């Protein structure tokens, strides 16, 4: 499943497992169920991003399925004295084809736009597809939050060679709508507006011809109840699914919905 112009009409469904489940046996069980249930759907690009320690054990079943593996993060240096860090090349060697960069939970630990930019360039150099997360902490009525999105995009993609933009996917994840304590997702109208704004910024960065082809995903309290609405009325090119992606039956139903929209 390569991110070329020809397949970008397909919806992209990404499951971010975050720091779950607790052990390898559970990880394999969940992934095996998703593979079995989602294997018949041909019109959707499916990516599962487990914790890095599980990538290796899930690589074999992934290789014989339509599912692809992604990493939740990666360091920008290839090797060296960086205790606890895992390089992009290491992630790739474990079977990852995608990597999430700039997730709000990483930004909350102090990750800056400069670091995100370095990670993007490192991931692209390794041939990984980048899922770049951008999002505002506060959604004000005056639209000041759009400056936050614009700044994040400009800084994250600064200096990225034009030839690599076919490997870029952007996920808009409003920070206020993420996590177990989130009270609500974004509205369809708001996301549709934000999607167009992000497309405009991307067109300004890399040109209209390429910028308008970059997929924009929605992430933020995505579940069975609102997945179809965001894909249809919201115009999302796909979804970044959090905790629901750990529930195989529900995740497969979201994939089924996306597949039916081809």
Closest CA to 47 of 216, 215, 240: 240
Q: Do residues 169 and 195 lie in contact, with contact meaning Cβ atoms separated by under 8 Å?
A: no
pLDDT of residue 109: 95
Q: What is the mean pLDDT of residues 128-144?
A: 90
CA distance 54 to 145: 36
Q: Considering the entire predicted model, what is its pTM?
A: 0.93
**pLDDT tens sequence across 191-248:** 999 999 999 999 999 999 999 999 999 998 899 999 999 999 999 999 999 999 999 9
CA distance 240 to 48: 10
**pLDDT tens sequence across 153-202:** 999 999 999 999 999 999 999 988 776 556 677 889 999 999 999 999 99
Q: Which residues are catalytic?
A: 103, 173
The token pair at 87 is 């390089």
pLDDT higher than 80, residue 119: yes
Distances (CA, A) of 34 to 37, 122, 139, 190: 5, 30, 34, 31
Closest CA to 231 of 22, 24, 44, 35: 44
Which CATH architecture group holds 51-225? Alpha-Beta Barrel (3.20)
CA distance 255 to 43: 9
| Domain-wise residue ranges, the chain | 51-225
pLDDT of residue 183: 61
């Amino acid at each position: 499943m390569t991110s070329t112009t020809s397949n970008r009409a397909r919806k992209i469904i990404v499951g971010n497992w975050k720091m779950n489940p607790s052990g390898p046996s559970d990880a394999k069980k969940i992934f095996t169920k998703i593979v079995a249930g989602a294997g018949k759907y041909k019109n959707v690009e499916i990516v599962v991003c487990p914790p890095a320690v599980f990538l290796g054990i899930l690589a074999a079943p992934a290789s014989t399925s339509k599912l692809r593996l992604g990493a939740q993060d990666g360091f920008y240096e290839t090797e060296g004295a960086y205790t606890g860090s895992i390089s992009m090349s290491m992630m790739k060697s474990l079977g990852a084809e995608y990597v999430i960069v700039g997730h709000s939970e990483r930004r909350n630990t102090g990750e800056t736009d400069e670091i995100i930019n370095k990670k993007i360039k490192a991931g692209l150099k390794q041939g990984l597809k980048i899922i770049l997360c951008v999002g505002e902490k506060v959604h004000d009525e005056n639209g000041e939050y759009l400056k936050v999105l614009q700044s994040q995009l400009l800084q994250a993609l600064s200096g990225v060679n034009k030839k690599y933009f076919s490997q870029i996917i952007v996920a808009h994840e409003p920070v206020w709508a993420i996590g177990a304590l989130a009270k609500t997702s974004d509205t369809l109208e708001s996301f549709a507006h934000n999607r167009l704004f992000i497309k405009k910024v991307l067109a300004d960065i890399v040109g209209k011809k390429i910028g308008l082809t970059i997929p924009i995903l929605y992430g933020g309290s995505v579940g069975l109840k609102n997945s179809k609405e965001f894909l249809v009325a919201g115009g999302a090119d796909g979804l970044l699914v959090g905790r629901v992606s750990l529930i195989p039956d529900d995740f497969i139903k979201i994939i089924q919905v996306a597949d039916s929209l081809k």
